Amino acid sequence: MNRILLSITLIFTILTASTSHASAPEIGKSARYCNPLPMPTAPGGNAAGDVTVIKEQGKYYMYCTGGGAWVSEDMLNWTFQHVENVPIAPDVVKYNDEFYMCGNDGPLFKADNPLGPFIKLGDWKNTPDVAGGWNGAFDMDIYIDDDNKPYLFYAGRGVSGIFVVELNPNDLTRFAGPVKHLIGFNSDHVWERYGEMNEYTDVSWIEGSWLQKHNGVYYLQYSACGTQWKTYAEGYYTGKSPMGPFTYAPNNPLLRKTEGIVTGPAHGSIVEGPDGNLWQFYTIVLSNPPGGRRIGMDRITFDKNGNMSVQVTETPQWAPGTISDPTKGNSGSIPVTINKVRAMNALSKFSSEQPGREAAYAVDNYSGTWWEPSPADSTPTLTIELSPATRFDVVQLFTIDAVRLMFKGNRRWFRRASETELPKPDLYQYKIDVSMDGDTYITALDQTKNAILRNTIFEEISPVKCHFVRLTITEWPRTTPLGIIEFTIFGKPAESLPAQEPIPETR
169, exposed or middle or buried, with CB in 10 Å at 0-12, 13-18, 19+?
Answer: middle
Name residue 382's beta-bridge partners: 350, 471
28-85 per-position pLDDT tens digit: 999 999 999 999 988 778 888 999 999 999 999 999 998 889 999 999 999 999 999 9
Average of per-residue pLDDT values in the chain: 89
- To which H or E segment does residue 18 belong? helix 2-23
pTM tops 0.75, yes or no: yes
Q: How far is residue 47's CA from residue 53's CA, in Å, rounded to a whole number?
A: 12
Nearest to 78 by CA among 458, 371, 333: 458
Angle at 186 between CA 185 and CA 189, to 5 degrees: 120
- Map 435-446 to HEC letters: ECCCCCEEEEEE
Instruction: State the pLDDT at residue 407.
Output: 94
Q: Evaluate whether 393 touches 402 at the Cβ level (below 8 Å).
A: no
122-158 per-position pLDDT tens digit: 887 655 555 455 556 789 999 999 999 999 999 988 9
For the ranges 5-14, 57-66, 326-335, 418-427, the maximum mean pLDDT occurs at 57-66
Domains, the chain, with CATH or none: 32-332 (2.115.10.20), 335-497 (2.60.120.260)
Q: Evaluate whether 150 touches 142 at the Cβ level (below 8 Å).
A: yes
Q: How far is residue 75's CA from residue 77's CA, in Å, rounded to a whole number?
A: 6
228-250 per-position pLDDT tens digit: 999 999 999 999 999 999 999 99
Is residue 406 over pLDDT 60?
Answer: yes
Instruction: State the pLDDT at residue 29.
Output: 92
363-397 per-position pLDDT tens digit: 999 999 999 999 999 999 999 999 877 778 888 99
Among 55-64, 280-289, 304-313, 323-332, which stretch is predicted with the lowest mean pLDDT?
A: 323-332
Secondary structure of residue 363 in the 3-state scheme: helix
- Categorize the per-residue pLDDT at 6 as very low, low, confident or very high, splitting at 50, 70 and 90: very low
